[in-house]
Chain A
Amino acid sequence: MATVTTHAPATFEEAAEALAGAAAEGRRVRIVGAGSKLHWGNPTDAASADLELRTTALNEIVEHNAGDLTATLQAGVSLADAQRTFAEVGQTLALDPPLVAIGSYPPPTIGGVVATGDSGPLRHRYGAPRDLVIGATVALSDGTIASSGGKVIKNVAGYDLAKLFSGSFGTLGLILSVSVRLHPLHDPSATAVGATDHVHTLARAAVALAAFPAELEALDIAWHGGRGGILARCGGREASRRAQRTAERMLELDLEGVDVAEPDEPLWERQRAGQRSPDEALLRVSVPPAQLAAVLLAADAADATVVGRAALGTSYLTLAPKAVADVRRRLPQGATSVVLDAPPGVELDRWGPVGEPALRLMRRVKQRFDPAGICNPGVFVGGI
């Protein structure tokens, strides 16, 4: 059996050389940040990688341009560390996937968050990594170091390769650094909450609140065993008054136990925690937001726990691995679902079906960027 060597390059050039060297020898490379999501994507057996490239030594916050609300971060910077730096001047990278270690998983690097397209409740207002990354520098398997985008928040020169690499699971090359757009920290915050034990009441409330012009920072649902609720977060100086008004709207929507939580951070910590499942399977489901009821009914049938983005139609279901197939059958037509967490050794179709013409195009993209086929082989859709 081949032995896996580990290497943590300290410069961009070293990283690019390591990739090129591996390509020349036909060695397969596994790209690793903090290692918090290595089990996402198609499982690969130990023999499928010959070299592990870690970004942990590329851990410099290269620039933080507070006045311009932008920053450039090397891939190995821990997202939590970056947030601390930004918070010192009242700013934030509006990207809030789970940061604290859950189970045995270490907190993520910015490179890993971008490469997996991970996000949290703030996606409601600020989007996913692809919406916040304004430039990227990458290393390709032929030793190329290439940049796209830039360091300004508005820029249309050249193709947007930063988006292509966001969510590419390291299969196109290694992200060396990213430039990101920052936002003012919206302190303080207040959250209106309402509960119900009717699927359709919750689904209706979700649609109505998505159209409520309160400029919410986040709009989430939580659901388990036939009961759940909705959480609407307001940020900024008048947060409490806006949350109060949102709560009044919740009463009109037949929600119970309506209240305004202040401080509200623990509520959101719980929502984020619902996006990880150390012991069971975690299924991320996407549907048009008005089809939330169908997702919740499917979840109930499988005794799944749900957290989700009400206005975006994205839900995270924690459930027994053996229930995944059944939930997928019950989802409305056109839904997509991806298995993220899963216990080791469990066989599951991670990515679900992907349309053939799109998949062929993705294969061509892979071939152009990683002609040697050595970057994280096999982990992605269609076995890319």
Chain B
Amino acid sequence: MASLPPQFLARLRHICGERFVLVNEQELATYRSDGLLHYREVPAAAVLPATAEEVREVVRACFAERVPWVARGAGTGLSGGALPVADGVLIALSRMRRILEIDLENGRVVVEPGVTNLAISKAVAPTHFYPPDPSSQIVCSIGGNIAENSGGAHCFKYGFTTNYVTGLEVVLSDGTVVELRRDDPGYDLLGAFVGSEGTLGVATRITLRVVPAPETVRTLVAFFTDTGAAGDAVSAIVDAGILPGAIEMMDSLSIEAAEQATGAGYRRDAGAALLIELDGPQERCLTGFEELVALCGEAGALDIRIAQSDEERELIWRTRKAAFASMGRIAPGYYVQDGVIPRTRLAEVLREIDALAGEYDMRVANVFHAGDGNLHPLVCYDSSQEGEAERAEELSGLIMKACVDAGGSITGEHGVGVDKKSYMPSMFSEKDLEAFQRLRCAFDPHGLANPGKVMPTPRLCGEVPGPYREHPLERAGVAERF
């Protein structure tokens, strides 16, 4: 734990109030890690600002002293994105939880960054909802969702966080406040900011699009002998032009773990379960659902259970949502991977993962968003066994590589953070990484915002090379009018 100059700390206290500046190790313990507990770092200080103005003043104070900082939402991130820096300030946004405006006529809400994902859907129910729904939605913050471009079960049909953010107020690392609006003329800096993992600035005010709630929802769970057959069913459904609200797959190991936790009645003898939800207008749901059931049957479903009530639907979902948390019942520890593959390569990549697990003599559970090919292999290990954690990490790396080799990505929704940054070169060339760095340097030339994340090696910005030619319009002062 490093310490910061007393005057600087006094400045932070002046801005946020005595109580909301934490410097002793005990108080800081909560903030050492995000959802990836094996990365730990104690920041020199943590602040809990209450308003956008306080955030701005904190960032300005940091800029003046060139102190690095990390923004933090609810700390549920799974890539070490909110991991503090030892000689820096952690800016926790958990006190900024106000919903500032609900404007259903215009299909939008305006919120502070600490508001939870679920609070937004609740605030606009029952007529509307906010589609991107990470499984952590009860606790994760909308600011964190924006930084990670979070997804969820409903994203295959409805799109990701980036498709729903229409306005942001951002504090840049030099303390400037910029308004980015989706329809404003100019570069799509809003689009560049979403998914930038806290490295381009802090979002302090967020405008989101919300959409009409679907008229009808129908849910089923179908069981198959193995993930290959379940994968065939997914392909048949997508090829038939049906666009389910969600298609989630669980393999036998994750069914086993989740059943132990919920007892919802998933078939334990099945090799795979598919949870499929169709939502939308009545007409579309009714015909689509019949077809769905038929397609699952043709793909060899052992059993299809259709939810007959809201309670039954709830039960089907509870098992899926419990999948991560319940892994603890069958393994003392696990690594969550987040690789993406083209959906048509599903069977092949799952076989490869099985083979790798065999080679390492380790168990890998699979529970994932099947529609968009976003796998969540959970590599189980027991850290009390010498070297097992290291071998699990190695196996995780090979799984990531298998995803990239199949034409996919190392991460579909959890972000790169610190956890996957060393795998970035498997997807991107040095030139690609340099291009990323150009964007970062335009926003944060001194590298103060969440340093050490995303990029595989530390980089400096340097001055802008070459002459920038002023356009005649700028010279003529036309630009002044803008």
A contacts, CB < 8 Å to B: 23, 42, 48, 65, 67-70, 90, 117, 127, 130-131, 138, 140, 144-148, 150-161, 163-164, 166-168, 172, 184-186, 207, 210-215, 236-238, 241-242, 245, 286, 288-290, 311, 313-314, 336, 338, 349, 351-362, 364-369, 371-373, 377-378, 380-384
Contact = CB atoms under 8 A, between A and B. Distances in A.
A369 B436 CA distance: 10
A290 B195 contact: no
Nearest to B433: A158
A90 to B, nearest CB: 7
A98 to B, nearest CB: 20
Contact of B187 (A127, A131, A168, A290): A168
* Nearest 6 Cβ contacts at the A-B interface: A163-B191, A383-B473, A146-B435, A184-B241, A286-B183, A238-B283
A68 B343 contact: yes
Interface in B147-200: 148-149, 151, 155-156, 159-160, 162-163, 172, 176-181, 183-189, 191-192, 194-196
B344 A378 contact: no
A330 B28 CA distance: 54
A383 B186 CA distance: 11
Interface string B409-440: 11111111000100010011101111110111
A336 B179 CA distance: 14
B407 A151 contact: yes
Contact of B107 (A145, A289, A373): A289
A216 to B, nearest CB: 9
A192 to B, nearest CB: 13
A261 to B, nearest CB: 18
Given A131-B159, A158-B424, A184-B243, A65 B344 contact: yes
A164 B415 contact: no
B436 to A, nearest CB: 5
B186 A359 contact: yes
B192 A160 contact: yes
Nearest to B191: A163
Nearest to B426: A157
A290 B106 contact: yes
Given A68-B343, A130-B191, A213-B213, A371 B180 contact: no
Interface string B347-377: 0000000000000000000000100111000
A327 B180 CA distance: 24
A154 B146 CA distance: 15
A167 B188 contact: yes
Contact of A154 (B196, B284, B372, B424): B372
- The listed residue with most B CB atoms (<10 A of its CB), out of A164, A207, A358, is A358
21 contacts: A48-B472, A150-B408, A152-B373, A152-B408, A154-B155, A156-B149, A156-B412, A156-B415, A157-B410, A158-B424, A158-B433, A160-B191, A163-B192, A164-B191, A213-B213, A215-B214, A238-B284, A288-B103, A290-B106, A355-B178, A378-B472
Which range holds the interface residue count of chain B? Answer: 35 or more
Contacts of A138: 435
B464 A368 contact: yes
B276 interface: no
A242 B469 contact: no
A146 B340 contact: no
Nearest to A355: B179
B188 A166 contact: yes
A201 B245 CA distance: 33
Contacts of A367: 442, 464, 468
Given A153-B373, A336-B184, 19 more contacts: A68-B344, A90-B241, A130-B188, A147-B432, A148-B428, A152-B372, A156-B195, A157-B410, A159-B436, A161-B439, A166-B188, A211-B127, A242-B283, A289-B106, A355-B178, A355-B184, A365-B187, A373-B467, A383-B473
Nearest to A68: B342
B471 A377 contact: yes
A161 B442 contact: no
A128 B439 CA distance: 22
A77 to B, nearest CB: 20
Given A146-B432, A166-B191, A371-B466, A338 B342 contact: no
Contacts of B465: 371
- The listed residue with most B CB atoms (<10 A of its CB), out of A148, A213, A338, A355, is A213
Contacts of B103: 288
A240 B26 CA distance: 65
Contacts of A153: 156, 372-373
Given A152-B409, A290-B106, A160 B162 contact: yes
Given A160-B192, A167-B187, A383-B471, A154 B435 contact: no
Nearest to A363: B468
A349 B480 CA distance: 12
B424 A157 contact: yes
B372 A140 contact: no
B460 interface: no
A369 B191 CA distance: 17
Nearest to A371: B466
A302 B235 CA distance: 53
Contacts of A161: 192, 435-436, 439
A127 B241 contact: no
Nearest to B189: A361
Given A131-B159, A184-B241, A371-B468, A382 B177 contact: no
Contacts of A158: 416, 424, 427-428, 432-433, 436, 454
